[in-house]
Structure 1
Amino acid sequence: MNLLLLNVLVVVYLLVTLYLGYRGWVTTRDTEGYMVAGRKIHPYIMAMSYGATFISTSAIVGFGGMAGLFGMGLLWLTFLNIFVGIFIAFIIYGKRTRRMGYNLGAMTLPELMGRRFDSQFIQWFSGLVIFLGMPLYASVVLIGAARFMETTLSIDFNLALLIYSLIIAAYVVWGGLKGVMYTDAMQGTVMFLGMIFLLIMTYLHLGGVTAAHQALTDMANLVPQSLAAQGHRGWTSMPALGSAWWWTLVSTVVLGVGIGVLAMPQLAVRFMTVRSGRELNRGVLIGGVFILAMTGVAFDVGALSNVFFHATQGKIAIEVAKGNADSIIPVYINAAMPEWFVYLFMLTLLAAAMSTSSSQFHAQGTAIGRDIYETLTGKKGTGSILVTRAGIIVAVVIAVVLGYILPENIIARGTSIFFGLCAAAFLPMYTCALFWRRATRAGAIAGLVTGTFSSVLWMVFVHKKEAEALGISRFIFGRDVLITQMPWPVVDPIVVALPLAFLVTIVVSILTRPPDTAHLDRCFKGIK
């Protein structure tokens, strides 16, 4: 390995990143600039920032590794990512979010919901959910980057995690959202090029598209008995309908992330950074192509890594990775790709991790500074920005600590947990706020609380993956889960919590006094 060349590439990349963060800092002069980038961002920067924030090392390393385990079925998530996460998000949700945010002077998703329903509780409680729930998601993104650095550079995982976190904290704390979005756009471009090269190199290694996919289909008989018993039927087939693996793939991975993207606070705020709906229209194609190149390639290559490892080592991918799906993509890259590409892909992963981490930390900081501190104290201005910056530093520290202690095979699962929590807590309230004038404050609060606590309780007492790890159910009731009858222990919380929260929001709104007409006219001004 040419460490000199690698170090030069990394240093140049980091200098460019810090410079763009600096540019964000020198052009940020007020709270609006720090929170929503002045509402004048170019559509390319907005779309690439949205995509780069959405797609992280959890998608490339974590979900790519899951594709090595589950197979091509994860491509359904790519479909939802593009249709829901880009088209519906930009055209249907994004335009209304941008306009209503402008009408109400809102700078965060919790603030938008709080002002739409005239409720301080909604704003600070939503901010609390973000600040307490996002560290798990932030930490798994850090883990994905650090794992690749550990595998590629043979450096200590803990050291890689610490260095990486300090660099991100430096430009997020000072640059605000504008600095984050500038660096996101650059990092997204690097990610796109890296993934396109990865796809081409993989098919060249495996003899072309047709030969590679046929070889993967022919490997169905190599599925380990332990996985076949749970419903695994091969890497080009969906798991057996209704099996444990089918429920995990469909409810946790595909629906949890595919639907949850609509309610992600760090993504929704991007819609408030552009001048008009035209910029969102222009961003759809850019975002759609980007997401296809990111998730489609990661899932395709993750599944096809089984063909490579079987041909070269006589083992399937999860066996080569010693049971840790999070290591499949890093091990494959280092084993199958030329040295120069390993360098390029390392920059790709650094870009993916940094773009997502910076947005996560910014969202957590604004949740503390804008949504909790300002709402509870009534103090605004410079003081809240200082609290926001302090909140970012605290968020980084929490994520790093979790990165040290979380177990293996956590990257994809940690991502799904937070996406599912956001969907259950925010999506019913957010949807009704934008599209239903009759939605009331009481209905929004009821849905927010119901979605949050039903999702958490299902994870603690019913969903086996989390319930076993947490041990709360066993401590209180003497058993890992309260419902043992299949399929409930493998049904993701989003399947139960999201419909329940929607139902509660609608029913309570119907049963309570309609909101003030003048306030609604202000909220929906200019929205057709």
Structure 2
Amino acid sequence: MNNPILIAILGYLLLTLLVSRFAARAAATPGSFSRSHFLGGQFMGGGVLALSLVATYTSASSFIGGPGAAYTFGLGWVLLAMIQVPVAMLTLGVLGPKLWQLSRDTQAVTILDIFRSRYQSTPLLWLAGLSLVAGFFGMIVVQFTSGARLLSVVAGIDYTAALLMFVATVVIYTLWGGFRAVTYTDAIQGLVMLGGMFALLIGVISAGGGVSNLTSQMASIDPGLLEPHGPNGFMSWPFLLSFWVLVCFGTIGLPHTVLRVMAARDGRAIAKAMVLGTAVTALVTMLPHLAGALGRPLVAELASPDEIIPSLMVQLFSPWVAGILLAAPIAAVMSSVDSMLLQATSTLVNDLVIQRRPLTRSQQQWLTCMVTLAVAAICTLLAIEPPQMIIWLNMAAFGALQVVFLWPLVLGLFWKHARASAAIASMVAGLGCYLPLTFMKIKLLGTHAIVPALLLSLVSFVVVQKWGDNR
């Protein structure tokens, strides 16, 4: 094998497997397999919680799609992307203390355990569970596809081989150590993202003769690349509002980020992670997007703007260094898909089977392994020849999870007498609004479908709750 980039990437994948093996030993505790595998106990300190939360939230869009948009639309998109910086503070600050305490008191393993304890409604659990599994299936396929394409392009190997290599690594370390393995590898991947993007941005600025020289060249290409609203005012105020709701405010209720809060060690860890997580989010967001925007004068021709980050790495660095740096976008994909895979499996195993039919530890372990392999296999088959609309399916799934979980989770925690009927009405109304608007590409007042959907979801919750209180 004489491919430095591929060797470096394989070394990184091997490192994740070694970390997962260490985590597997740390997680080997007696008692319920489902709790140790799917949550790992409340063990995360502030630093690990911050890195894990940010790495889980950060996906291929942050290192591939986002910088590609910054390459196309300029510095205005970099400013737009920074809207998502408060994600850690919002998630941990709004949900942190109450969700952590409820998880501890009820021994909750999943977000559906929280709903079961809070609402005690079987229809609500089925609606939430089916939505979660359907949403994560679509998102897992997209992440598998993104990871495989990245490996295939930069390492020069066949797409199918890259897909199998990527999926095998994620599945092995997820099965090996469960939630602890996912958490520790996510923390390492967060550090890899930071290091890789710092090096890349420095390389871009150095190769371009400084920021002022690069921005001057961008202005000569299109003055709109330096404007806050982008070329031709593309990023309008309704667009900015929609983006803030979709990638910042709405993420409070995403199941795979909520799980991190439940696994915090204590209140001090949550408080520390709010500060560290916000700082890390700012860097992980700014660095790749700024590199994508400033890289416009350095890479004039691309088959797709999404190729800007790997293209810059290959162009600016030696093959060995480029291989090491390319671990950053690969880490971004892996740190999202592992959490989605674990959550989809935990819903199918813990919420739909174990809650209805108690199993021994060995039976739980066997069932978890089989379901994880089945989910990964189905998503791999779909990723071999992904449908043309897969990216839209990903966005639809991302928003759908928000309209299903946000208000039932937040209001369920803070509204003492919140009813299951109100939560169900919120879910149904939100989905009933979001999915048609998304697939029919209807923009009410120029906003993304997530804005009216979350608003209708909130109104439905409050109306049904008040109607029940007045009966």
TM-score by length of 2: 0.90
1:50 to 34, 48, 53: 53
Amino acid at match of 1:440: R
Q: Is the 8 A contact 2:76 2:225 kept in 1?
A: no
2:254 to 264, 267, 291: 264
Q: Is the 8 A contact 2:90 2:249 kept in 1?
A: no
For residue 102 of structure 1, give the secondary structure of its aligned residue in structure 2. helix
1:107 to 109, 131, 147: 109
Q: 1:28 to 1:414 in 2, by over 3 A?
A: farther
What is aligned with 1:192?
Answer: 194
Which whole-Å deviations, capped at 9, do the CAs of 1:366-418 have from their partners, x for residues lacking one? 1111222234x34355344543333322222233233233367965x555333
Q: Within 5 Å, give how 1:287-326 maps onto structure 2.
A: 287-309=277-299, 315=300, 320-322=301-303, 324-326=304-306
Deviation at 1:178, TM superposition (A): 0.8
2:459 to 488, 503, 520: 503
Which whole-Å deviations, capped at 9, do the CAs of 1:121-155 have from their partners, x for residues lacking one? 32232121111111222222222222222222111
Deviation at 1:168, TM superposition (A): 0.9
Q: Is the 8 A contact 2:5 2:319 kept in 1?
A: no
1: CA distance, partners of 2:9 / 2:215: 35
2:229 to 222, 227, 238: 238
Aligned Cα RMSD in Å? 2.7
For residue 407 of structure 2, give the secondary structure of its aligned residue in structure 1. helix
Amino acid at match of 2:147: A
Q: Within 5 Å, give how 1:114-513 maps onto structure 2.
A: 114-220=116-222, 233-234=224-225, 236-239=227-230, 246=236, 249-250=239-240, 253-309=243-299, 315=300, 320-322=301-303, 324-375=304-355, 377-380=356-359, 382=361, 383-406=363-386, 415-460=394-439, 462-463=440-441, 487-488=443-444, 491-513=447-469
Q: 1:77 to 1:234 in 2, by over 3 A?
A: closer
Deviation at 1:254, TM superposition (A): 4.2
Unaligned runs of 5+ in 1: 222-232, 310-314, 464-482, 515-528
Which whole-Å deviations, capped at 9, do the CAs of 1:139-184 have from their partners, x for residues lacking one? 2222222222222211112210111101111111231101111111
2: CA distance, partners of 1:247 / 1:419: 22
For residue 417 of structure 1, give the secondary structure of its aligned residue in structure 2. helix
2: CA distance, partners of 1:385 / 1:444: 33
Amino acid at match of 1:502: L
For residue 3 of structure 1, give the secondary structure of its aligned residue in structure 2. coil
Which whole-Å deviations, capped at 9, do the CAs of 1:398-446 have from their partners, x for residues lacking one? 33233233367965x5553333112111111111012221321110111
For residue 512 of structure 1, give the secondary structure of its aligned residue in structure 2. helix
2: CA distance, partners of 1:173 / 1:187: 18
For residue 283 of structure 2, give the secondary structure of its aligned residue in structure 1. helix
User: Higher relative CO (CA 8 A, sep ≥ 6), structure 1 or 2?
Assistant: 2
Q: Is the 8 A contact 2:72 2:305 kept in 1?
A: yes
2: CA distance, partners of 1:301 / 1:249: 23
Unaligned runs of 5+ in 2: none
TM-score by length of 1: 0.81
2: CA distance, partners of 1:255 / 1:77: 12
Amino acid at match of 2:287: V
Which whole-Å deviations, capped at 9, do the CAs of 1:276-334 have from their partners, x for residues lacking one? 1110111123212221221111211122222222xxxxx4xxxx222x33323223332
Q: Is the 8 A contact 1:326 1:408 kept in 2?
A: no
2: CA distance, partners of 1:340 / 1:490: 46
Which whole-Å deviations, capped at 9, do the CAs of 1:18-65 have from their partners, x for residues lacking one? 122122323233332112111122222222111111112221012221
What is aligned with 2:17?
Answer: 18
Amino acid at match of 2:62: A
Amino acid at match of 1:37: G
What is aligned with 1:480?
Answer: none
Q: 1:490 to 1:195 in 2, by over 3 A?
A: same
Amino acid at match of 2:28: T
What is aligned with 2:78?
Answer: 75
2: CA distance, partners of 1:288 / 1:60: 18
Q: 1:92 to 1:381 in 2, by over 3 A?
A: farther
Q: 1:388 to 1:505 in 2, by over 3 A?
A: farther
Q: Is the 8 A contact 2:404 2:426 kept in 1?
A: yes
Q: 1:422 to 1:160 in 2, by over 3 A?
A: same
2: CA distance, partners of 1:255 / 1:410: 22
Counting aligned pairs with the same residue, the percent is: 23
